[in-house]
Amino acid sequence: MKPIRRILLTNDDGVEAPGLAVAERIAAAVAEEVWVVAPMADQSGVGQGISMHHPLRVTEYGTQRYALTGTPADCVMVAMADWLRDDPPDLVLSGVNWGANLSDSVMYSGTVGAVLAADHLGIPAIALSQAFHDRSALDFSATEAYAVDAIRRLWAARGETGRCCWNLNFPMQDADTIQGLRFTRQSTGTIVAPHLIAGTDGRGLVYHWLSFERDITAIADPLSDVVALREGYVSATPLHGSRCDEALLEQPGLDEAWRLDISRRAE
């Protein structure tokens, strides 16, 4: 098995996030060299977005450790355009996110957005997220217990699994009660509806916070990411950067071009 020589580490919770410190310890346990390029501030919910309307500024936080005024995807792109341009990493790790990135949340996740950005550049990548029951009660013990073994085994199996990136979610429970790792599919349907929470600023102007009504109990597929965590397993979901529905393109009638009627143009 080829060793992991160099890891690029980022996240979406920001350079000061406790989960990044956890990820640095994990990365140091599996790689000879670790580079950190993380957002300066919390970038949760930005998905795979990149910065096109403002400049990016870098602050050095130590040897091979930088913070960027941008998104997680920006961090991957800037690292590959600058410090690691001539000697790219073997693996990109993103996380450890405080909160699971499952089901419909995957498309919004900045943690996942970073690994998809790496996938576009042809670099293997793994997102790490720790589920919680209480946002204020930080506890990464499940991730710390099993992430190193999971990363090593996924790295060793990459010849069998083919090129993809992985979304790993760790359940919030005692490490010795976790059942193992289950390969899962991304579920959908946990977001029931969007909601707006209104407020008023100091000038009397109305603003809104966007929120979602969720229902994870509706997910029952035993191969889904949500159910894996519910049953005490680490969830490992393979992802790729393309959103093309390849199976749909194989359906009869879609294997040849359609002739369109020009007379049906919009008036």
Cα–Cα dist 151/168, whole Å: 9
Domains of the chain with bracketed CATH: 4-188+220-242 (3.40.1210.10)
Helix axes 141-156, 18-30, angle to 10 degrees: 40
When pLDDT is cut at 50, 70 and 90, the band that residue 219 belongs to is very high
What is residue 253's predicted lDDT score, i.e. its pLDDT?
86
DSSP one-letter code for 258? P
Task: Please determine, for residue 99, whether its predicted confidence score (pLDDT) is greater than 90.
Answer: yes
How sure is the predictor about 247, in pLDDT bands with cuts at 50, 70 and 90? Answer: confident
**Contact yes or no for 194/220 (Cβ under 8 A):** no
Question: By mean pLDDT, which of 24-28, 54-58, 162-166, 216-220 is the weakest?
Answer: 162-166
Is 212 or 112 the better-scoring residue by pLDDT?
Answer: 112
* Cis peptide upstream of residue 192 (ω within 30 degrees of 0): no
The pLDDT tens digits for 154-211 are: 999 987 766 789 999 999 999 999 999 999 999 998 988 999 999 999 999 999 999 9
Q: What is the dihedral angle through the alpha carbons of 13, 17, 20, 22, rounded to the nearest 10 degrees?
A: -130
Percent of residues in the chain assigned helix, strand, coil, to nearest 5: 30, 30, 40
